Amino acid sequence: MALPRDLIDIGTIYHEPAVPDFARGREILDRFPDARRIEVPSHWNIPSLHGNEGSVEDWVRIKRSTLVLGVKKGLTMRRNGRSAHFIAPSTSNGCAMACAYCYVPRRKGFANPISVFVNVEAIGQAIRRHAAKQGALPEPDTIDEARWVYDIGENGDLSVDAMVSGTVRDLVALFRDIPNAKASFATKAVNRDLLAYEPRGSTRIRFSLMPERIARIVDVRTSPIAERIAAIDDFVAAGYEVHVNFSPVILYEGWEADWRDLFEALDAGIGPAAKAQLKAEIIMLTHNADLHAVNLGWHPKAEDLLWRPDIQEAKISEGGGANLRYRSPWKGRWIARFKDLMAERIPYCRVRYAF
């Protein structure tokens, strides 16, 4: 796929010393021959990117023009239990898109362009070994009816990563040949090159959806919501399992009417095959005081929606971070109302989990 220059136009590549030793590293470096190359000791140790408050002013430019290449050190699988059974070692982190609620800047610093890990073979071998040890899924559960599910895109968007290298194609091929496992990743971008990857039912794509008028404010540099919905039938026909993420659900005056309109658009935009296999995740907004401060530096309009201390409370995440979520027990009531709206407009769409 030709890179859309408004999304990716790489001018600078930071890379660890070992990157050219890997075939994937050489492939990516060759793809951007005119990019300035800067060798760094670690993909995490780039002062001009990570922790540099001044980069807030260049938030979008950095995402468009900068790429980081490294070697993934930790290859362990983490248990999940919500979206997947296991979180696979990331082949990337960061993103060229700029969603205002993204959690990655909280961990990486003020700028988080795409970082790609080039030791793809080692990551694939680790996944294959782990799946072999699991044996068959003991019984159907809310994650899958027959196979272990591995989230392969926790810290980025693989639809965009596929515009940079062949790693996503490799991952789809990997799971095609593992009989007891399935890959899964969420995306806010439509990359139709993925239609040729032949997943054969072994990769689940979760298109993230929210009301269009809100997406235009907080889903910065992503594919339009209508385009994501229009792609669902094609991805089902290409052999993907396609679910939807209603994520994040942001509360504001009029949210119910906007989501009702979205459900009607989804119902009108997909056919019987997609509807028969459609499932959803409902994820209420989680925010963060540090991210709030970052957003005020580049996109304060988004904070009118995201920063609502009147209806939010402190929450310590699984990783130990201090975040904000909608207050309990109100959150439970809002989730129940959300499910009621789904039942009215898209009753065939089963809810896999909500939180």
What separation in angstroms does the CA of 265 have from each of 114, 234, 269?
32, 17, 6
Distance separating alpha carbons of residues 90 and 71, to the nearest angstrom: 11
Find where tokens 């988080």 sit.
112
Distance separating alpha carbons of residues 323 and 317, to the nearest angstrom: 7
The continuous run of DSSP H or E covering 323 comes out as: strand 322-326
Please identify, in words, the CATH class of the domain defined by 72-288+328-354. alpha beta
For residue 162, give the DSSP letter.
Answer: T
Q: Are 246 and 284 in contact (CB under 8 A)?
A: no
Tokens of 319: 């990783």
Distance separating alpha carbons of residues 269 and 264, to the nearest angstrom: 8
Contacts of 92 (CB under 8 A, 6+ apart): 114, 115, 116, 117, 153, 155, 156, 158, 161, 167
Q: Are 206 and 243 in contact (CB under 8 A)?
A: yes
Q: Between 47 and 66, where is the model more confident?
A: 66
The DSSP string of 115-127 is EEE--HHHHHHHH
Q: How far apart are the first and last CA of the chain?
A: 36
Q: Are 204 and 239 in contact (CB under 8 A)?
A: no
- Any idea where the domains of the chain sit in the sequence? 72-288+328-354
Whether the bond between 329 and the residue before it is cis, its omega within 30 degrees of 0, is: yes
As to burial, measured by CB atoms within 10 angstroms (0-12 exposed, 13-18 middle, 19+ buried), residue 74 is exposed
- If pLDDT is split at 50, 70 and 90, which confidence band does 157 have? very high
Q: Are 355 and 82 in contact (CB under 8 A)?
A: yes
- If pLDDT is split at 50, 70 and 90, which confidence band does 42 have? very high
Query: For the ranges 155-169, 216-230, 310-324, which has the lowest average pLDDT?
Result: 310-324
In 147-304, beta strands by DSSP E? 148-151, 181-187, 203-209, 241-249, 279-284, 286-287
**pLDDT value at position 66?**
93
**pLDDT value at position 150?**
98
pLDDT at residue 53 tops 70: no
Amino acid at 324: L
Neighbouring-strand partners of residue 116: 69, 92
Query: For the ranges 98-112, 129-143, 157-171, 248-262, which has the lowest average pLDDT?
Result: 98-112
Q: Comparing C-alpha atoms, which of 52, 61, 43 is closest to residue 110? A: 52
pLDDT averaged over the chain? Answer: 92
Distance separating alpha carbons of residues 246 and 259, to the nearest angstrom: 9
- If pLDDT is split at 50, 70 and 90, which confidence band does 275 have? very high
pLDDT at residue 52 tops 60: no
What are 344-355's pLDDT values in tens digits?
999 999 999 999
**pLDDT value at position 168?**
98
Amino acid at 85: H
Q: Please report, rounded to a whole number, the percentage of residues in the chain having pLDDT higher than 90.
A: 78
Average pLDDT in the 299-304 region? Answer: 92
Tokens of 106: 């909280």
pLDDT at residue 3 tops 90: no
Neighbouring-strand partners of residue 284: 249
For residue 4, give the DSSP letter.
Answer: P
**pLDDT value at position 2?**
46
Distance separating alpha carbons of residues 84 and 80, to the nearest angstrom: 6
What are 77-107's pLDDT values in tens digits?
999 999 999 999 999 998 888 898 887 665 5
Distance separating alpha carbons of residues 66 and 142, to the nearest angstrom: 39
What separation in angstroms does the CA of 197 have from each of 191, 192, 202?
11, 10, 11
What are 123-152's pLDDT values in tens digits?
999 999 999 999 999 999 999 999 999 999
The model's pTM: 0.94
